[in-house]
Structure 1
């Protein structure tokens, strides 16, 4: 259902507000660059500092600009189950193709609570849902046995895994069995290894900056050209790392600003990269062949 290079889109700001024109241009650039789908208002989209109204407006705009050319997987997570359901309902109402739902954060539910959270969403809305496991941010870890039980539900179609453990790909596959279940990496440096283990693609931060290069790496792998995929990945690895040399999405927005595509503005408590981080990002862009 979902595969390849899928950007976790930044949400550009201008004068403190969402820059709708810049966002629309970024969506067009992603489609032209070969991205397989789009994820608005995920972690990289600064969902935690968007109001509910802004969140909905960005999802709606993404669906409108994409106009069916590629799938839209709307970020729709919350640490309150009712709010997550509300956001998934909105995603469906405006025509998104799926929702990306992060594990509840801060309140630290156990596995029973995580399972109940996702079951409630599955039962409330008939829209494909991708689980999103990122324990480095949420503290809680959605374990493979829980994932396998959730995979049996009709609307749970896959997972974005940012645990950093590529062995999870095989664990999930072994436990899920014959059910169709899409596994996507949530970490750019692990994407190629994740696909080698059986994953379908990556929800990517780097693709914000280099959509065509990221898409080319995935295309090479899918075509069986492992050597070509490795060669492209070696050009990208410094950029993957640079995207987190300062709190994300500051580096991605700085890189996009260098390309004249949006302002570098982020919302507090995230701040813009300092001079040393900017030098790291500039160098990584040069190594990948990306020049302002």
Structure 2
């Protein structure tokens, strides 16, 4: 099927997940075009200038499910044109069926994206055979694109099994997986992909996962990078530079800043309000103006929202801390 634009070897560092910025009033279901184009361009430049290694969007809090196709297409076009080849750009194309996903994937390929952040259809749960067949069909339709499998057990009605990971690793276009909450299955899944697919833990779990396979676990995904990425970038520099102790300090800081973000400590409960909580946190941190949530995902219990705002304050302080350190070291003020 050929070599994709994004290869497994190129999956390295911080894969920052950014929201799809929304204009004021985007929570009104009567608003047709909700995309904040100026903020999208500004945010992409900010993330790249601050050192992230790739940009992903239109997963869950990128609001793939609530964007119109026209909005998603225009957003992807801005991502590609603004990044201008400086970092890989991956865009979500998940729909409720294979044919629509392929149609979107082909259009995104033609816009110049490097890869897809791709979850499986979720109206009904896909068994292993249907799951693997879905990814293979998309890979065959757009062999130019690398695929980052989106393994969200709540959104897609179950975690991808170790056996399915072994089968997915046989598809050359499957270069990585956005891995769920780190747990005991990670080691088995890592063995199953046999160096052919990068499993991306969340930033705060990267050190622990990296220790299992230092040559393979060389990238992480991060939604909190959209609250300000300087700590995340420093984590990457230290970890990939061999300073595990220094990286561990930063990972612990990221974990502390995340405290209280999951309501009652529950990923399942968080997933009911994933879009709202992520956008509340990003807006409160002030690094990106994410704007309001698009309907129907608008309401969020206030006690959960306050947990997100508290996390945002800690992430903003952490970013400011590493921004000041960089300025002292380099003399460059960002």
Q: 1:131 to 1:21 in 2, by over 3 A?
A: same
Q: 1:256 to 1:118 in 2, by over 3 A?
A: closer
Partner of residue 78 from structure 2, selected from 51, 57, 61: 61
Q: Which residue of 2 aligns with 1:253?
A: 279
Q: What count of residue pairs does the alignment treat as equivalent?
A: 288
Tell me whether 1:132 sits opposite 2:159 in the alignment. Answer: no
Deviations 1:242-267 (A, max 9, x none): 55457334344344434264154112
Given that 2:19 and 2:58 are in contact with CA atoms closer than 8 Å, whether structure 1 keeps it comes out as yes
> How do 1:1-292 and structure 2 match up within 5 A?
1-15=10-24, 16=26, 17-126=34-143, 127-162=145-180, 164-177=181-194, 180-185=196-201, 187-198=202-213, 199-245=217-263, 247-258=273-284, 259=286, 261-262=288-289, 264-268=291-295, 269-271=297-299, 274=302, 276-277=306-307, 279-285=309-315, 288=318, 290=320
| Structure 2: gaps of 5 or more residues | 1-9, 27-33, 264-269, 322-334
Q: Radius of gyration: which is bigger?
A: 2
Q: 1:89 to 1:213 in 2, by over 3 A?
A: same
Given that 1:80 and 1:104 are in contact with CA atoms closer than 8 Å, whether structure 2 keeps it comes out as yes
Deviations 1:106-138 (A, max 9, x none): 311211111111111122111211211111221
Q: CA-atom RMSD, angstroms?
A: 2.3
Q: TM-score, normalised by structure 2?
A: 0.79
| Structure 1: gaps of 5 or more residues | none
Give the distance between the partners of 1:42 and 1:242, measured in 2 at CA.
22
Q: Could you say what secondary structure the match of 2:129 adopts?
A: helix
Q: Once the 2 structures are TM-superposed, how far is the Cα of residue 270 of structure 1 from its aligned partner?
A: 3.1
Give the distance between the partners of 1:152 and 1:248, measured in 2 at CA.
31
